[in-house]
Every structure is written in structure tokens, then in C-alpha cells.
Structure 1
Amino acid sequence: MLRYLALGDSYTIGEGVGDAGRWPAQLAARLRDAGIAIGEPRIIATTGWTTDELAAAMDAAEPLGDWDFVSLLIGVNNQYRGRSVDDYREEFAALLQRAIALTRQRAARVLVLSIPDWGVTPFARRELRSPCRIAQELDAYNAAASELCSAEGVAFVDITAISRTGETADMLAADGLHPSALQYARWAEAALPLARRLLATP
């Protein structure tokens, strides 16, 4: 049975949805349906975490051991708190190296998802935040993450475009900010082809 570790923040822990509705759980279920023997993911993620807070949580959880598959989705709270792209790039790069190390240096067993765009949500409108500015800042964050993943040979799945079409009530949790299980299903479907290919490699 393949071992799966999912690292992230509210989007990985699935704020507002049940355990089975989280995108890593949905991805694992789809992989099993495709004939890949993978267990339920261990999730290290908490709503509100930034890159440095995830790193600290990983430190606290050590020893994490070895994993066959690691996913990483982190950064929205860095942007929300107004942190710079340069800081994000440095901290994300360190997390990416740790994720690779957790797969016994198999970069081809790491999967990164882009940061979704919360600027399209009712929550953003309630906060009177500029959707254009949020989108521009997240695009810069995601460009940095994509560049780092490309340099390391790590798969990068762009779910930001999907999130920008997910404003309807059925795509959101009750808080009007976090995705619903239905939205997470769209992310899992987007990640599935790459995940299948990664797990087919030794």
C-alpha cells in the first residue's frame, strides 16, 4: 500500500467539509478506483497556516519517515497577510526540498497544486478586498511556485483557473470562502492524470 502525505493549509485540511470531501482524500479514492493501491492520506495542515507555520508543524511532527507520494498546497495565507513574493519563494523552496526528501529524493513523487483565488468569493467582497489585486498577487505567487517546481522536476497542477469559476453557492462551503466538496472534486479530477503518471514510476 502506497503511503501518501498531504501538506498544506485550510485547502488541504478541508475547512468546512467532511473528511472524505477533502481533495487529498478524494484524489486517493480516485487513484484506488484506477487500480493504484494507496492508503488514506496523512494530512499535516491547519486553517490559517503560512509557509513558515507549515514548516514549524513539520518540525514538530518529526520524524515523518519516508513516503511514496507527497502533495503540497500552501501560500494563500502568506498573500492574505500581505507578505512579499520574495519571502514566499524562499520559504516555498525550502518546503519543496523537504517534500522531495520525504519521498527519498524522488522529485517525481511530489505533486504541487497552485493556490486558488479566494478573491472571487463572497468573503472577499465582505472584506472589501480588490479581486483584481488578489488575483495579481496570487498569480505572482503561483508563477514563483511553478518556476521552482519546474527547476526541481516536480509536477505542478494549476487549479487556480478552476477556482475562478467556482463562485456559485454549491462550490463553496457555508463560510462563503472555502471550497465545497464539489469544488474539491474538480481539483482532484485535475490532479488525477498527473498523480497516476507519477505513481506509475518506480
Structure 2
Amino acid sequence: MRRLSRRHLLRAGVMGGVAAVAGCGTRDSASFLTLGDSYTVGSGVSREDRWTTRLPERLQAHGHALDDPTVVADGGWTADDLREATRERELASGGDGDAQRPGSDLVTLCIGANDAFQGRPAAEFRPRFETLLASAIGYAGDRPESVLVLTIPDYTLTPVGQQHDPDTNRDRLDAYNGIVEDASAARGARLVDLVAPSRRVADEPELV
């Protein structure tokens, strides 16, 4: 699936949400860990235009020093893929595969687009997302206020999305995002809604 570009993610409020937590670190520059899928790695977008690249630059201009991100994400990843990658990372750092690595001043999480696209029921996505969110909070040193959760953009309005039962997929995405919102609120993580700006594609096709 083709992804919305970096500038539209920033317009959605990522900058504002990150600015609220980027100054929480005790070092001169805040560490930044980002977890996710194609939306996180910026598939189809040049490195300098990815939101994960632009974020430190923009925050620096506003007096917030943020390290370049440590990215645990790849195109096509599902929640299971991301969980496996985090397990491998934990094992490589000397953990047991369930340990959480504290210390990141800012952690972002955006996952679920590929689970929804592949037709995974919302009931199966819920425990997977809750596990990943718990890990993200652990990576932030058990500080949920330092975790920024991004909702899943509505890809059903893109040309590819229109070819794959968009009505059913939109309903599934709505259910997924309800899970994302509920879990984030329950754990005290910050939420950035990307759904509303992503739906502008219907009137502004140049956003794709």
C-alpha cells in the first residue's frame, strides 16, 4: 500500500504531540525510539523527507534537542512482525525476550495497517496491540506520558485501497483505531489522530 507522505503526518499533529514530551529527558538531547510499519519507515519517501528525519530538525528549530531515531519498523510489518523484532532486539541486548529496555525519552508506536489490510479480526488485534503498547511504555522507562501513539491512517481512500473492498476495510480500521484509542487512554499514553487528515485524500488526491 502506498503511504501518505511525511508532511501530511506532521500536519496531523505529530509535531505538537512530540514537542510536549521531547523535553522530558535529563540529557541535553532526548533519545527517540520509533516502532511501527511502512508509515514509520516512510516507504516511498526519500530519507530526508521522512517524518522521523524531519522531527529532530523541526524540534531543534523550536529549542528541543532530539536524537536521530532508533527505528524498529519495516514495510509490510504486522503487529506480530513488530513484536518479533522487539523480542529479537531485547535478546540481543541481553534480555530474555520479554524484558523491556528502559531509557528512551520519546517512543512512538504506529502499527495495525497491515493487520487490517490482511483481514485480521479486531478481536485478534486487541491483545497484540496491548502487548506492543506495554512494551513501548517499558522502553520509555515506564513513563506512559513519553509514549506517542499514532492512529492508523485510512488507506481505503488511496488507489490501492479502493481496489480491496474499501467499505469492509474502513469498518475494520475504525474498529482497530477504537482499540488503539482505548488502550492508549487506559495506559496514559499520548494519542495523535491521523485518521481525519488521511481522509482528506478524498478531496485532495495530491496528498497520496
Alpha-carbon distance in 1 for matches of 2:88, 2:120: 24
- Superposition deviation, residue 80 in structure 1: 0.8
Query: So what's the TM-score if we normalise by structure 2?
Result: 0.78
Matches within 5 A, 1:58-137: 58-62=86-90, 63=93, 66-125=103-162, 128-137=163-172
* Count of aligned positions: 170
Per-residue deviation, 1:25: 2.1
CA distance in 1, matches of 2:168, 2:57: 36
Offset at residue 134 of structure 1 (A): 1.8
Residue 71 (structure 2) aligns with: 43
Structure 2 counterpart of 1:102, one-letter code:
Y
SS at match of 2:141: coil
- 1:30 equivalent to 2:58? Answer yes
Q: Which amino acid aligns with 2:190?
A: A
Please give the alpha-carbon distance, in whole angstroms, between the structure 1 residues aligned to 2:59 and 2:199: 26
State the identity %.
37
Contact 2:121 2:172 in 1 (8 A): no
Counterpart Cα distance in 1 of 2:104 and 2:39: 21
Q: TM-score, normalised by structure 1?
A: 0.80
Which 4+ residue blocks in structure 1 deviate beyond 6 angstroms? none
Instruction: Tell me which residue corresponds to 2:20.
Output: none
Q: Secondary structure at the match of 1:149?
A: helix
In 1, Cα distance between equivalents of 2:103 and 2:121: 32
Q: Which residue of 1 aligns with 2:21?
A: none
Q: CA deviation at 1:159?
A: 0.7
Letter in 2 for 1:59: R
Q: 2:168 aligned with 1:140, yes or no? A: no
> Conserved in 1, the CA contact under 8 Å of 2:102 and 2:142?
no
Q: Equivalent of 1:153, from 181, 188, 191?
A: 188
Aligned partner of 2:79: which letter?
A: T
Runs of at least 5 residues in structure 2 that lack an aligned partner in the other structure: 1-28, 94-100
Amino acid at match of 2:166: P
